[in-house]
Amino acid sequence: MSDQMKDRMKDIVSLCKRRGFIFAASDIYGGINGFWDYGPLGVELKNNLRDRWWHDMVIAPPLGLDGTPISIVGLDSSIIQNPKCWEASGHASGFNDPMVDCKESKKRYRADHVVVLIPKDGQGYALAFDKDAEDIEIEKRLKKLAKNKSISDFDRKSLDQIPVEDFPNIIAPDTKKAGTLTEPVQFNMMFKTTSGAKEGSDSEVYLRPETCAGIFLNFKNVLDSSRVKVPFGIAQIGKAFRNEVTPRNFIFRSREFEQMELEWFCAEEDVPKWFDFWVEQRTNFWLSLGIPKSELHFLDVPKEDLSHYSSRTIDVEYRFPFAAPDFDELEGIAHRGNYDLTQHQEFSGQKLDYFDQAENKRYLPHVIEPSTGLTRGVLALICEAYTVDENRPSGVYLNFHPSMAPKKAAILPLTAKPHHVEPAQKLYMELRDEFVVDLDIKQNIGKRYARQDEIGTPYCFTIDNETLEDHSVTVRDRNTMEQQRIPLDKVKAFLREKIYG
């Protein structure tokens, strides 16, 4: 990360706290790593993004491949589910990678990623290598550290299969002497808690590490109650929890976060076209919120990096300041196959297949999953909106799309005198049922404009002497700082036009 972008992140974090967007959780106790609270403006911004996603997915889904509206229904499943659910999904095992550290090289390895060569004759040291190490490299190192022996003189074993008592005899991958590896440490990516007042292992439960599981668990319930037909989608927004090893970069990687996930169920043969469809839809979503195409990047995730369930994934990446000039993940669009339904069907013993009346066949639909972090989206919107402008008093303004701005408008009486304040209060009362608006009376007008700039309010309506004469107000545009005069009774229409397009 460049120094300039490092400063940019610092400035953004500082503004977020100063103006009430985002605070460290448990701030007065010194904070808690990986958790964040959303302040008065942060919650408005987050709700705006959440509502927009829900609207575009569930209330008014896009037109499908044939030009007719597709079918998507909503869901809000529980954060805690039957623990068997996580065995089926692969999280219970997949989230528990034992790690070993090397005291010498200070490196850390996944135990199952390290292969150990054990001498067949039981003489001399065992040597550890990265599991992908080439034979040539291995022979080279054997020459130095195990004279007179070659690969054929050793048995191979994964490090996680070797008892800790034997560790002192192992030469770690990046060292020359034995006994530098620490005991394997378990990393539990899932938060564990207990259900029921009485603590005990049989009531151990997990906070969901992703929201999508609840969708698969309810696949049959939705089918049986909603008259949906494949292809269709189930959408969900909610919190998920992961014990990240290293929470980093403000709210980008936190341990408690919010996801917006759609599981799109379709026939296997239709996967390619629906996949492209969703990549396009999701891209348009971010573009429409003011994220320019130049700041987005589409990563066709290489095969070796794909999750265990996915055969294709495209990451929609945004140029976050901490990643610049590179990008980091904002949304993932994954083809999950029918992995999840297959697993849950097997583990639960319940039939989850879909019966297609027209084709007269049963099958497990394939799934395309556009999954995005709501809280990551919030960060992207803030980073994108943050605009330095030395020509204005605040020095900076937040260039939010009007539909995303936490406050749509501020109503400002030019002075604190009653003849300005009273009409302002009246306008405020007229607007506040439909728009989130501020009424700010105190201090000089410049200060108030500056404050609204800094929180990204797109419009300020100012009541002055002319208002009393001809029932007009000035509208100040946040981005241009220019003003125009419009009739008082056109203010609502003006805002509707600007916000909803």
* Closest to RNA by CB, 48 or 472: 472
Beta bridge partners of residue 461, listed in sequence order = 411, 475
Using CB under 7 A, pick the residue from 90, 119, 179, 290 that binds RNA. 90
Stretch of 78-86, 241-249, 357-365, 431-439 contacting RNA, by CB under 7 A: 241-249
What Cα–Cα distance (Å) separates residue 81 from each residue in 87, 213, 239, 240, 354?
A: 11, 9, 13, 12, 23
Backbone phi, psi, residue 39, to 5°: -80, -175
Q: How far is the CB of 106 from RNA (least distance, A)?
A: 4
Contacts of 77 (CB under 8 A, 6+ apart): 211, 213, 214, 215, 217, 218, 236, 238
Fill in the amino acid letter for 384: E
Whichever of 93 and 203 has its CB closer to RNA, that residue is 93
**Which of 104, 153, 244, 356 forms a contact with RNA (CB under 7 A)?**
244
Q: Give the whole-angstrom CA distance, residue 141 versus residue 116.
A: 13
Among 31, 40, 69, 292, binds RNA (CB under 7 A): 31
> Looking at 47, 169, 307, 425, which residue binds RNA (CB under 7 A)?
307
Cβ partners under 8 Å of residue 268, min gap 6: 338, 363, 365, 366
Complex with RNA: residue 56 or 328, whichever CB lies closer? 328
Say if residue 2 is exposed, middle or buried (CB neighbours under 10 Å; 0-12, 13-18, 19+). exposed
Contacting residue, 207, 453, 491, 499, with RNA by CB under 7 A:
453
Residue 6 host element (H or E): helix 3-18
User: In angstroms, what is the minimal distance from the CB of 344 to RNA?
Assistant: 15
- Given candidates 156, 229, 447, 471, which one binds RNA under the rule CB under 7 A? 447
Binding flag, residue 241, RNA (CB under 7 A) = no
- If the CB atoms of residues 52 and 91 are measured against RNA, the closer one turns out to be 91
Q: Does residue 393 touch RNA according to CB under 7 A?
A: yes
If one asks whether residue 451 binds RNA (CB under 7 A), the answer comes out as: yes
Q: How many CA atoms lie within 13 A of 158 on its CB side?
A: 12
Near RNA by CB under 7 A: residue from 178, 217, 414, 499: 414
Contact (Cβ atoms closer than 8 angstroms) between residue 8 and residue 322: no
Name the minimum Å distance from CB 443 to RNA.
Answer: 6
Q: How many CB atoms lie within 10 A of CB 139?
A: 12
User: According to the binding rule CB under 7 A, does residue 4 interact with RNA?
Assistant: no
Cα–Cα separations (whole angstroms), residue 395 to 233, 388, 392, 444: 45, 6, 5, 18
Of positions 177, 248, 362, 426, contacts RNA by CB under 7 A: 248
Output 37 or 280, the one with its CB closest to RNA. Answer: 37
Of 345, 266, 260, the closest CA to residue 88 belongs to 345
Least separation in angstroms between CB 395 and RNA: 6
322 binds RNA (CB under 7 A): yes
The tokens for 351 are 């039939």
Q: Which SS3 state, helix, strand or coil, does residue 1 take?
A: coil
Contact indicator for 39, 21 with CB cutoff of 8 Å: yes
| Stretch binding RNA (CB under 7 A), from 74-82, 173-181, 226-234, 238-246 | 238-246
> If binding is defined by CB under 7 A, does position 34 make contact with RNA?
yes
Confirm or reject binding of residue 245 to RNA (CB under 7 A): yes
Nearest CA among 121, 131, 127 for reference residue 142: 127
Of the candidates 235, 378, 474, 499, which one interacts with RNA according to CB under 7 A? 474
Q: Is residue 253 involved in binding RNA (CB under 7 A)?
A: yes
Interaction between residue 395 and RNA (CB under 7 A) = yes
Of 64, 94, 98, 179, the residue at the interface with RNA (CB under 7 A) is 94
Tokens of 122: 């039981």
464 binds RNA (CB under 7 A): yes
Residue 210 makes contact with RNA by CB under 7 A? yes
Size of the site for RNA (CB under 7 A): 74
Question: Between residue 255 and residue 294, which ones bind RNA under the rule CB under 7 A?
Answer: none
What does the DSSP assignment read for 418-436?
HHHHHHHHHHHHHHTTTS-
Query: How far apart (Å, rounded) are the C-alpha atoms in residues 251 and 313?
Result: 23
In 139-200, at which residue ranges do the beta strands (DSSP E only) sit?
Answer: 154-158, 170-171, 192-194
State yes or no: residue 483 binds RNA (CB under 7 A). Answer: yes
Choices 145-153, 222-230, 242-250, 337-345; region in contact with RNA by CB under 7 A: 242-250
Q: What angle do CA 99, 252, 401 make, to 5 degrees?
A: 165
389 is an interface residue for RNA by CB under 7 A: no
Nearer residue to RNA within complex by CB, 40 or 393: 393
Output 14 or 161, the one with its CB closest to RNA: 14
Residue 136's SS3 state is helix
Closest distance of CB 449 from RNA, Å: 4
CB of 34 to RNA, least distance (A): 6
Shortest Cβ distance from residue 284 to RNA (Å)?
Answer: 25
Residue span binding RNA (CB under 7 A) among the ranges 222-230, 377-385, 430-438, 441-449: 441-449
